[in-house]
Structure 1
Amino acid sequence: MDTTQLLKGVLDLAVLAVLRDSDGYGYDIMRRLREAGLDEVGDASVYGTLRRLFGAGLLTTYVVPSEAGPHRKYYSLNKAGREHLARSGKVWRSFAHTMNSLLEDRGIAA
């Protein structure tokens, strides 16, 4: 199964989850997503998601100067982002439970 379409539907949730415990800049967030198993996530998708989440008021940003290269824009969850993550996480867990039940009932799950 092509996971590209699935990833599009959950990338917002995945990015918020990655930022739950620690702030990060674009490349760092992408690396953390890939380390978590989302190998197919694209650079443009992550940066677009960060801009969209920031525009929706779910993230704050700050710049950290760097002596070795360009300054880095860090993203962090704000209160609205944490609340959205909690709500979306509940929806995801319910949806995943339903899908697992459907697959198991029909002998499809591994």
Structure 2
Amino acid sequence: MRQDAVRGHLDGLLLAVLEPAPLHGYAIITAVQQRSGGALELRTGTIYPALNRLERLGLLRSSWESEGGRKRRCYALTEAGARFLADERTAWQDFTAAIGAVLNPVTPHPHGSPHGQSA
């Protein structure tokens, strides 16, 4: 899938993978890749600026955690982030329904309306 396919949807993707539990940067990249069946591969140069921006907006919070003697910055969804994610999901459903209606129109029933009534 083209790298630019996630443009405009990156915030929602990042927030969605952080919904269940806090994750560090590499784990976020891995979660997006796994959830997409390998179709989406995010780069560190893409996600870290986005994570920092989402944190500045109050949609994420971060903290330093040690794992195996190594410090990693972990990101977690805030309440505002959860509300934003819910709005993103609704917007995505509306968008895909509209695009789907154009790309895959419902074919008219050969005998009038699908409910047996003529138009």
Tell me if structure 1 keeps the 8 A contact 2:61–2:77: yes
Alpha-carbon separation, structure 1, partners of 2:3 and 2:106: 25
| Residue deviations 1:66-106 (CA, integer Å, cap 9, x gap) | 3443x011100011000100111101110011111111029
Q: Please report how far the alpha carbon of residue 55 of structure 1 lies from its aligned counterpart in structure 2 after TM superposition.
A: 1.0
Q: How does 1:1-110 map to 2 (within 5 A)?
A: 3-37=2-36, 38-69=39-70, 71-105=71-105
What is the number of residues matched between the two proteins?
Answer: 105
Structure 2: unaligned runs, 5 residues or longer: 108-119
Q: Which has the larger radius of gyration?
A: 2
| Residue deviations 1:20-54 (CA, integer Å, cap 9, x gap) | 11110000000101112243322211111111111
Alpha-carbon separation, structure 2, partners of 1:55 and 1:47: 12
Structure 1: unaligned runs, 5 residues or longer: none
- Supply the RMSD in Å over aligned alpha carbons: 1.8
Q: Please report how far the alpha carbon of residue 4 of structure 1 lies from its aligned counterpart in structure 2 after TM superposition.
A: 2.5
Identity of aligned residues (%): 27
Alpha-carbon separation, structure 2, partners of 1:42 and 1:36: 16
Secondary structure of the structure 1 residue equivalent to 2:21 = coil
TM-score, with structure 2 as normaliser: 0.80
TM-score, with structure 1 as normaliser: 0.86
